[in-house]
Amino acid sequence: METADRSPNAAEIRPEELVTRLQSGEPVLILDIRPRTERQEWAIPHSLWIDLYDAAQRGDFRLLDTLAVPPTSLVVVVCAAGRTSSRVAQELQRRGIRAASLAGGMRAWSLAWDIATLPSSSTGQVLQVRRLGKGCLSYLVVDSGEALVIDPSLQPDVYLQLAESLGAKIVGVLETHVHACHVSRGRLLSEAAAAPYRIPATDRVRFAYTPVTDGDVITVGSLQLIALSTPGHTWESTCYLLPDHALFTGDTLFTDGIGRPDLKAGADERARKARALFDSLQRLGTLSDSLWVLPSHVGTPLAVGEPLVAGRLHELYKRFVAPFEQPDHFVEALLQHLPPPPPNTDQITRANELGVPPSELVSLLELEAGPNRCAVQGA
């Protein structure tokens, strides 16, 4: 991360600095002043909400009169883009309260991240790199000075610097599928690292890549990941097995549900995809019970320092798959529980099919704002 200005009276605080302060346990009160509809869409966990936005724009700050702030806390005010929050932070400072505005607001928070580590084993090191606001989960698999990145959703520098800090060189970038909830940074990262960009074989993608097919073995250091074709969420969806340790499931199996089969699909196709997903999940059910399932998303924003998002395969299978003995029951239940589609899913999918030039990445952040909705939770 960049070096942060740690002045307690700074008018602005950058997302990476807020992450650092929260990680250090410093008392921080995050005050969300966005309108109710935006707050309901997504929010920073443990933040306090006051419906202040419209009044603040009129210069009316009376709603702050009842705000109780612990004396040692820094108040970080949050809005959508960081402008109105700046006015509120100034008002709090005028009242003698230590306050700062989150620079860039929730849009910038969309790129805030932290890491969690899979309990170590003899099979290398696995880091979960979490895009906190969106709940996107990417992975660094590291062994013997080499690193593989799975489903990168953050700017390439994040992964390059993490790998370097571990004394490793990125030797490959891997996708579990063509994503619809976030703009993949895979192509950019593969170019920056001069490493192959591997995507499950598909005719959807309009740029050069290294195709992955069922049974392929991808090597990183002394480790070998095995590709398992698991169509359903998308036709090309693929899981990667790190034998005796972990299963990178993409959007096929989550810790809180299973992948949705309906995106970019009409009624007939979504039923066929749901049926394919049933078979794919049955296939996963034949793997070792003790594998850690590491998905590519979680459905709600993550708090800084939250534990690793993972579950044991046998527990998730028992909860989400085993209750459906007949595929027809599974398909019916899945299609009845579909959440609303993620925001801007068509544009995000299109960007991932075409490959994203760096010049367009900034404007694409607008598209990505909001939560992930690639899962059917508890279906």
Residues in contact with Fe ion by CB under 5 A are 179, 251, 374
Minimum CB distance to Fe ion, residue 338 (Å): 14
The nearer residue to Fe ion, 13 or 374, going by C-beta atoms, is 374
Minimum CB distance to Fe ion, residue 233 (Å): 6
- In three-state secondary structure terms, 308 is coil
Minimum CB distance to Fe ion, residue 375 (Å): 9
Which amino acid is it at 205? V
User: 325: buried, middle or exposed (CB in 10 Å: 19+, 13-18, 0-12)?
Assistant: exposed
The nearer residue to Fe ion, 79 or 375, going by C-beta atoms, is 375
Contact by Cβ (8 Å): 251, 239: no
The nearer residue to Fe ion, 243 or 355, going by C-beta atoms, is 355
Minimum CB distance to Fe ion, residue 207 (Å): 19
Q: Which two tokens stand for residue 270?
A: 């979504």
Helix, strand, coil percentages for the chain (3-state, nearest 5): 30, 25, 45
Minimum CB distance to Fe ion, residue 181 (Å): 6
Minimum CB distance to Fe ion, residue 268 (Å): 20
> Cα separations (Å) of 206 from 180, 193, 221, 351, 353?
16, 21, 30, 10, 6
Q: Which two tokens stand for residue 350?
A: 């299109």
Q: How many CB atoms lie within 10 A of CB 170?
A: 25
Minimum CB distance to Fe ion, residue 253 (Å): 12
The CA distance from 298 to 296, in Å, is: 7
The nearer residue to Fe ion, 149 or 376, going by C-beta atoms, is 376
Q: Pick the closest to residue 19 from 40, 41, 37, 45 (CA basis).
A: 45
> Residue 69 CA to chain centroid, in angstroms?
31
The nearer residue to Fe ion, 134 or 179, going by C-beta atoms, is 179
Return the bridge partners of 241, or none. 226, 247
219 φ/ψ angles, rounded to the nearest 5 degrees: -100, 135
Burial pattern 263-275, b for ≥16 Cβ within 10 A else e, equals bbbeeeebbebbb
The nearer residue to Fe ion, 216 or 251, going by C-beta atoms, is 251
Q: Tell me, what DSSP letter sits at residue 353?
A: H
Q: Which residue is nearest to Fe ion (CB)?
A: 251
Q: How many CB atoms lie within 10 A of CB 96?
A: 8
Minimum CB distance to Fe ion, residue 109 (Å): 22
